[in-house]
Chains A and B, each alone.
Chain A
């Protein structure tokens, strides 16, 4: 579904991505783990088109989208839940969700709203409140649902567990697994390597802008290098 070849990206003279190769098949849940500053967020930003690629290619469903606008990528079904949630604080919870539909394919917004509320009932309770009044975990639920309102085929998640209590992390990851079961392809980026690799079909490990390991999720969990660097074992 997604193929990335030799992708590089720069911030001024700093090269944040140094030739990334990876692929994600339809229906897969793929994890990308790596330490702080490894380039995870940059990779997702480049996949969404809000950060320019300096070289390499991004192929989505056989089409080269390396130079496509962010709007076009959402239109093709690539949606991102950004790092730090980035909900619109002063805007109501429900309007945050509705705004997820500006580039939506398919029509039944009301039914999808209900689906989101069924998944996280607390959002329904607080739907008229400003999103900024929600707790961190609730904001993460909202950010996830906002992206889902666009009916994505490929969902990019940037550190959904960041700053959340373990119970909430589990709740979010369960939701991610449920989405996968519904056929959504998921690219899950995490510093929390254990949580991500546990539920992933396959995983990649990124270090200073390069993919250094790639294997089945469980296999990576057993890998000595991963254990030492990311699991603290």
Chain B
């Protein structure tokens, strides 16, 4: 039992990270129909920028804030310089373009940062908290808490503010949004900035646990994509549930089978969803979005 609980704790912790990546996929997908495979690079940028800014002597909170800003600006630039000019390209072309952009960002990161692994100190120390015979690290609580705060903020933003609703409206019917005066270009820009910022937050929170390097984005994008697919692409609740499930499956698979299968879990989930559940667990009901 305590062993299971231990695996579950580590599963929902990484699952929360996948959930944040999947939310990033969801927001951009809804706003622009683009599946942005550079999503993982935002996570990398968040972690790596924080590490390097902190190494310059900036206090950690300030370094983290700047890192989020850097990622958000990168998201805006990605939209402006790469996605927008290819607006009329096919879905497949756009996916290939975002993959190209992710390779490009990794290359830049390798040059600006380095090829080493880096870590950040845990935010609240490393003394584990005992829960029913298993132990939970304070940093796990940071990750889970951060993800929860993001979900609540997104919910409030999309359901309680006119601007948030105008983003949803644009995703449902762009023409109608333009005709009431929604600036759809601005909506797109904000969607990319928001996705990138969420990815960066995930990267900052998880770096004390998993370490980071210039190339962590690839796997994270893949797993976030698996989570988004499992939940139903475009559905934010699905993204969160999908993220937690992928994280759990991965941790239980690694714990009970072999840690060699850890990364294979995401592939298996993607294939299984494509074959048996192409619309994901939550399908596209369309009525409820975060």
Q: Which residues of A contact B (CB under 8 A)?
A: 48, 50, 69-71, 74-75, 79-80, 82, 86-91, 95, 98-103, 130, 132, 146-147, 150
Instruction: Kindly list 16 other residue pairs between chains A and B, CB separation below 8 angstroms, not including A71-B181, A88-B169, A91-B168.
Output: A48-B178, A50-B178, A50-B179, A69-B183, A70-B179, A74-B181, A82-B176, A86-B176, A86-B179, A87-B176, A90-B288, A99-B165, A99-B169, A99-B177, A99-B180, A132-B286
Residue B87 at the chain A interface, CB threshold 8 Å:
no
Contacts of B129-177 to chain A: CB distance below 8 A: 162-163, 165-166, 168-169, 172-173, 175-177
Contact A82 B180 (CB under 8 A): no
Contact B178 A102 (CB under 8 A): no
Shortest distance between the CB of A57 and any CB in chain B (Å): 21
Contact B178 A98 (CB under 8 A): no
Contact with B162, one of A80, A87, A98 (Cβ below 8 angstroms): A98
Q: Which residues of B contact A (CB under 8 A)?
A: 162-163, 165-166, 168-169, 172-173, 175-183, 286-289
Contact B175 A82 (CB under 8 A): yes
Chosen A-B contacts, 29 in total, with CB atoms closer than 8 Å, are A48-B179, A50-B175, A50-B179, A70-B179, A71-B181, A74-B181, A80-B179, A82-B176, A86-B173, A87-B176, A88-B169, A88-B176, A89-B172, A90-B286, A98-B162, A98-B165, A99-B162, A99-B165, A99-B166, A99-B177, A100-B180, A101-B162, A102-B162, A102-B180, A102-B181, A103-B180, A103-B181, A103-B182, A150-B180
CA distance A132 to B166 in the complex (A): 17
Contact with B180, one of A91, A130, A147 (Cβ below 8 angstroms): A147
> Given the complex, which residues of A lie within 8 Å of B165, measured CB to CB?
91, 95, 98-99
**A-B complex: 5 closest residue pairs judged by Cβ atoms:** A103-B181, A74-B181, A86-B176, A90-B286, A70-B178
CA distance A89 to B173 in the complex (A): 9
> Given the complex, which residues of B lie within 8 Å of A100, measured CB to CB?
180
> Given the complex, which residues of A lie within 8 Å of B181, measured CB to CB?
70-71, 74-75, 102-103, 150
Known: A102-B182, A147-B180. A86 touches B169 (CB 8 A): no
CA distance A88 to B179 in the complex (A): 12
CA distance A99 to B179 in the complex (A): 11
Q: Which residue of A lies closest to B289 (CB)?
A: A90
Shortest distance between the CB of A80 and any CB in chain B (Å): 5
CA distance A70 to B168 in the complex (A): 19
> Given the complex, which residues of A lie within 8 Å of B179, measured CB to CB?
48, 50, 70, 74, 79-80, 82, 86, 147
CA distance A91 to B288 in the complex (A): 8
Contact B175 A79 (CB under 8 A): no
> Given the complex, which residues of B lie within 8 Å of A130, measured CB to CB?
287
> Given the complex, which residues of B lie within 8 Å of A74, measured CB to CB?
179-181
Known: A91-B165, A91-B169. A86 touches B287 (CB 8 A): no
Most chain A beta-carbon contacts within 10 A, residue among B162, B168, B179: B179
CA distance A132 to B126 in the complex (A): 52
> Given the complex, which residues of A lie within 8 Å of B182, measured CB to CB?
71, 99, 102-103
